[in-house]
Amino acid sequence: MSRTDNYEHINPMLMEKLERRYLRLCRVQEELRKLDFKNAAPGTSPEDFVFSRIDFERYRKIPERDFDEFFLKGLEDFSEVFYTKNFRRSRKEIESLIIDSYNRVDRICMLRKETPMILSVMRTLETSLDEAQLIQGEDFLHLDGVIITHRDGMETKLFLSDEGALMGTFQPGGKPWTKILAR
């Protein structure tokens, strides 16, 4: 694979989407690292144990840049079916919920009122790996063998599988995650 430090041939919106996918994987990897099922009380279901370990505090104050780039622009990373299936609301309704639930104060987005719905939405947007296809059609064929460097210095390798799918190997926390990005 060739190293690609000059991304001018890659659409900036595509680069943003790749960065968000990487950040979601980082968040999931961080959560997985914190789980030690030996600490679960006897009789606790895995789902209840995982839920008990969620840090919802992180959704009370979000830096404005992260809020805009990840939670608002990130809405486009998921299909309309995703929103209906997970929240029984449209993407537009979820966007309104997010905007209406936060105040902007000194470049920080502060949660106005904590509700199960807004916490569920923010958590799901941050950790769901059920993203829509990254790009459509044959647009990705020129991405084979590209290495993307993320803001934190970690690299993602983009390549075409034998079946012609665009794949990405991300390295959140130094752990490789290979995902299908487009078919």
Quick one: DSSP state of residue 104?
Answer: E
Instruction: Dump the DSSP string for 38-62.
Output: GGSPTT--HHHHHHHT--GGGGTEE
Q: Residues 6 or more apart from 142 whose CB is under 8 A from it?
A: 9
Question: Both tokens of residue 154?
Answer: 């970690």
Strand-by-strand arrangement of the 102-105 sheet? 61-63, 108-111, 102-105
Are 182 and 166 spatial neighbours (Cβ–Cβ below 8 Å)? Answer: yes
Q: Which residue has the tokens 């840090």?
A: 55
pLDDT at 44 exceeding the cut of 80: yes
Supply the pTM of this predicted model.
Answer: 0.83
Q: Are 86 and 124 in contact (CB under 8 A)?
A: yes
Q: Tens of pLDDT along 152-162?
A: 999 999 998 88
Q: Is the pLDDT of residue 26 over 90?
A: yes
pLDDT tens-digit map of 116-160? 999 999 999 999 999 998 876 555 556 878 888 999 999 999 998
pLDDT for res 43:
86
What is the CA angle 28-30-35, rounded to 5? 95
